[in-house]
Amino acid sequence: MRFALNEPITDWSRQRVWIVGASSGIGAALAQGLLQAGARVTLSARRQGELENIAAAHPAAAVVAFDVTDAQAWPQAMASALEHLGHIDLVVLGAARYDPCHSWEFDLDQVEKSFDLNVVSMYRGLSTIVPQLLRQGHGGIALIGSISAYTGLPRALVYGATKAALNHVAQTLYFELAPKGLAIYLINPGFVSTPMTAINEFEMPGLMTPSQAAAAIMSGFEKGRFEIRFPRGIAGLLRWLSRLPDRLRFPLLHKLTRM
């Protein structure tokens, strides 16, 4: 395809996928979408019961429950995923927490936990996943970020910063690993109706269902995109705003967010 930075995925029945963060929200919906499309999927998260509920309806699914914040657990989880899949065509890393807060009310304990789960755990995973994919000579890694990474936003002091870090990580991964034959994807969702966003007390523009988000992600994989952002309206607006000069961007953001 014209704008493909990765090899487009054209046949899900040939794909073996490991989803980390598959117990609820976007991860669970993506797992169900991929399984319905014919992919073979290993489901991972801490909550084994939720994973088993998804796997029960799909013979091509297997469950590997583990805590992504435990660096020692990653090699065994990888071994278990490989035992089920044989090899890995795609890993989706989506475990995260959401702690909305203003700059005058943040909690340092929450900050540390957010960065540990949202960012440091990605490095824990990458330290195991990247060598395996390089040994295979093929495969892809998808990081689930957020459009909140584009620019500073109200109550995004912590969450937005963690997702901005993942945007940088994904870009570096693509720069270094695409020449070695690996596919890298950066998934930047807007607001999706999940247990995480249920705590928001404001109207969320462009709110999508998890199944809609999963469909957008799969479409991005199928088109070989590097960045998969959605929904188009709010994602495109924030991306455009992030590129404006500061003297224009900040007044516009204040007007749009009414802050």
Is residue 175 in a domain? yes
Instruction: Give the strands of the sheet with 61-63, arranged side by side.
Output: 61-63, 40-44, 16-20, 90-93, 140-144, 183-189, 227-230
Task: Give the structural domain span for 186.
Answer: 12-257
Going from the first residue of the chain to its last (259 residues), give the mean pLDDT of each consecutive group of 10, the final group possibly shorter: 85 98 95 97 96 93 97 97 97 93 92 97 98 97 96 92 97 98 97 77 81 97 98 93 95 87
Is residue 2 in a domain? no
Residue 111: CATH number of its domain: 3.40.50.720
Provide the 3-class DSSP secondary structure of residue 115: helix
- Whether the CB-CB separation of 137 and 181 falls below 8 Å is answered with yes
Structurally, how many domains does the chain consist of? 1
Look at the pTM and tell me if it is higher than 0.85. Answer: yes
Strand partners, 186: 143, 227
| Residues classed as catalytic | 159
Is residue 3 in a domain? no
